[in-house]
Amino acid sequence: MTRENQSSTDLKSAPGVKDYSAYFQPPSLKDAKKRGKEEIQVHYDFSIPEEMREFGAGKRYLIQTYGCQMNEHDTETIKGLLDAMGYTSTEDRQEADLILFNTCAVRENAEDKVFGELGHMKVLKQQRPGLMLGVCGCMSQEEAVVNRILSKHPFVDMIFGTHNIHRLPHILKEAAFSKEMVIEVWSKEGDIIENLPKKREGIKAWVNIMYGCDKFCTYCIVPFTRGKERSRRPEDVLAEVRDLARQGFQEVMLLGQNVNAYGKDFEDIDYTLGDLMDDVRKIDIPRVRFTTSHPRDFDDRLIEVLAKKGNLMEHIHLPVQSGSTEVLKRMSRKYSRESYLELVGKIRVAIPDAVLTTDIIVGFPGETEEQFEDTLSLVKEVGFDAAYTFIYSPREGTPAAAMEDNVPEEVKKARLKRLNDAMAELSKASNDAMAGKVVEVLVEGESKYNPDILSARTRTNKLVHFSGPKDLIGKRAMVKITQPKTWLLMAEWLEEPAVSPF
């Protein structure tokens, strides 16, 4: 378990734990910004070691996942690896032989939830000493987190990061036979490992098209936990999407921390996200989406391709974070209020029926009442249909964490409420405009709250509930909107019309 370019300060002093100074390096903005394009390699020769192919026979695993779609997709890969080693899945902690927490580091409350769960695990571990317990994902890339696990939760068997999921068979083997905590967190950005097994369930599939982020927004830990931007080769992405189409998946979501930057690291070809979307558009799969976009990289070529529609959906998630140019500068978002609105204008002209959603942070250090009002006015001017809204919380290791957090908590909460109230009005108005319309939906399953009601999504990603036969699940159907609500559309299933072509 040797790895270069890694160091630590406190890990080596943990009692009962060997020196892990060779396996970990805390975030360094200065070093990270020196990233080059060298060293990243693509590997096509992955396989489960022979001695590990029956390692999990007769054993069960449970994975608790936190965070974004990228984390969810990482969990699909972890499940694929475990299945390939003979494990079977369970939702019952009492019967699990292996429990993994795939973690998120974006917000403090996500970390608090994980540590709360680890506290519960102590009793379970005492009751069942043979249970193997692991923490992986973005939190594992933070030195403070690893130190806290070492000091407060020494019963954890393994910690591994975002760059070395493919090493899981080796990590499991070492944890099982060494009887010591195994820590394998690589500070070096991972190479691209193709042909990893994945366990996908349902009718929708996530497809990574790139990894990492080079934007370094001052509030964000992702460039450190996920590493520098590195794109998968177009032929590998297209082959995976074609295979998903053959398997009958109805929707594909193309994923990247900064998905619009796809292809910018290619040195041998000129091929962008717009080019990839144009090629994916020709594949026989009903619905294609992508996330998450950065406004600075949303170019005219991509807008031109999205305007062709077909299986490319009329929903664009375009995080703005703030409507104030001054706050955007402090966030290092690298665009202004004016340039964001200009981009929205281009999208509206090319795709008049596009639905826009966004992410917004309130209470960023130094945010004045006037700057918050700029956010409210931008929200109304754009006319977002929905927004993920958050109160700012500092993340250790980011530049914003060193800024004076001078917006009182009660002010942050009041601003969040005003923003959410504005968003509710916009969403209700948008939904009201759909009353009486006939739209295509993809039926995803039963409603969480009523098994007699089907839950579906429009092309613009609006949630629709309606009554209909269960055999519609996994198919597209035509419905008439009968009762718009703030965040939900009630509808009537139309039996006669066929699904619209794509």
Name the pLDDT band for 3 (thresholds 50, 70, 90).
very low
The predicted structure's pLDDT at residue 21: 44
Residue 298 Cα distances to 199, 272, 307, 350, angstroms: 31, 11, 14, 13
Q: Is the pLDDT of residue 35 over 80?
A: no
Alpha-carbon distance of 185 to 187, in angstroms, equals: 6
What does the block give as tokens for 307?
A: 């305007």
What does the block give as tokens for 315?
A: 């929903």
What letter does residue 91 receive in the DSSP assignment?
S
For 478, list phi and psi in degrees, rounded to 5: -105, 130
Higher pLDDT, 247 or 8: 247
List, in order of start, the domains of the chain with CATH numbers.
Answer: 11-184 (3.40.50.12160), 203-313 (3.30.750.210), 342-431 (3.30.750.200), 438-493 (2.40.50.140)
Which amino acid, 260?
N
**Mean pLDDT rounded to a whole number for the chain:** 90
Answer for the pair 64, 104: CB distance below 8 angstroms, yes or no: no
Which amino acid, 316?
I
In the chain the first and final C-alpha atoms are separated, in Å, by 50
The predicted structure's pLDDT at residue 497: 53
The predicted structure's pLDDT at residue 433: 97
The predicted structure's pLDDT at residue 141: 83
Q: Is the pLDDT of residue 501 over 60?
A: no
The predicted structure's pLDDT at residue 481: 98
Which residues lie across from 212 on neighbouring strands? none
For 234, list phi and psi in degrees, rounded to 5: -55, -40
* Omega of the bond leading into 2 within 30 degrees of 0 (cis): no
Alpha-carbon distance of 82 to 53, in angstroms, equals: 9
What does the block give as tokens for 436?
A: 């009486």
Answer for the pair 367, 406: CB distance below 8 angstroms, yes or no: no
Which amino acid, 266?
F
Compute CA 266 distance to the chain's CA centroid, rounded to the nearest angstrom. 23
The predicted structure's pLDDT at residue 188: 60
CB within 8 Å of 67: residues ≥ 6 apart: 102, 103, 104, 106, 110, 137, 138
Alpha-carbon distance of 138 to 468, in angstroms, equals: 41
Calculate the dihedral angle through the C-alpha atoms of 146, 151, 155, 160, rounding to the nearest 10 degrees: 10
Answer for the pair 158, 134: CB distance below 8 angstroms, yes or no: yes
The predicted structure's pLDDT at residue 388: 96
pLDDT digits (tens, 9 = 90+) for 304-341: 999 999 999 999 999 999 999 999 999 999 999 999 99
Q: What HEC string does 396-437 produce?
A: CCCHHHHCCCCCCHHHHHHHHHHHHHHHHHHHHHHHHCCCCC
Name the pLDDT band for 207 (thresholds 50, 70, 90).
very high
Answer for the pair 491, 479: CB distance below 8 angstroms, yes or no: yes
The predicted structure's pLDDT at residue 20: 46
Answer for the pair 131, 125: CB distance below 8 angstroms, yes or no: yes
The predicted structure's pLDDT at residue 499: 52
pLDDT digits (tens, 9 = 90+) for 48-98: 999 999 999 999 999 999 988 889 999 999 999 999 999 999 999 999 999
The predicted structure's pLDDT at residue 368: 97
Answer for the pair 147, 10: CB distance below 8 angstroms, yes or no: yes
pLDDT digits (tens, 9 = 90+) for 220-232: 988 888 888 999 9
Q: Is the pLDDT of residue 392 over 80?
A: yes
Name the pLDDT band for 287 (thresholds 50, 70, 90).
very high
CB atoms within 10 A of CB 14: 19
Going through 227-354 in order, the beta strands assigned E by DSSP cover 230-231, 251-255, 287-291, 315-317
The predicted structure's pLDDT at residue 18: 44
pLDDT digits (tens, 9 = 90+) for 125-136: 999 999 999 999
For 324, list phi and psi in degrees, rounded to 5: -105, 125
Q: Is the pLDDT of residue 38 over 60?
A: no
User: What's the predicted TM-score (pTM) here?
Assistant: 0.88
Diameter over CA atoms, the chain: 70
The predicted structure's pLDDT at residue 190: 65
How does DSSP assign 62-78, residue by residue? EEEE-SSHHHHHHHHHH
Residue 84 has, within 13 A of its CA and on its CB side, a CA count of 21
Q: Whose CA is closest to 158, among 61, 90, 76?
A: 61
Calculate the dihedral angle through the C-alpha atoms of 391, 393, 326, 427, rounding to the nearest 10 degrees: -20
Residue with tokens 């690589």: 186
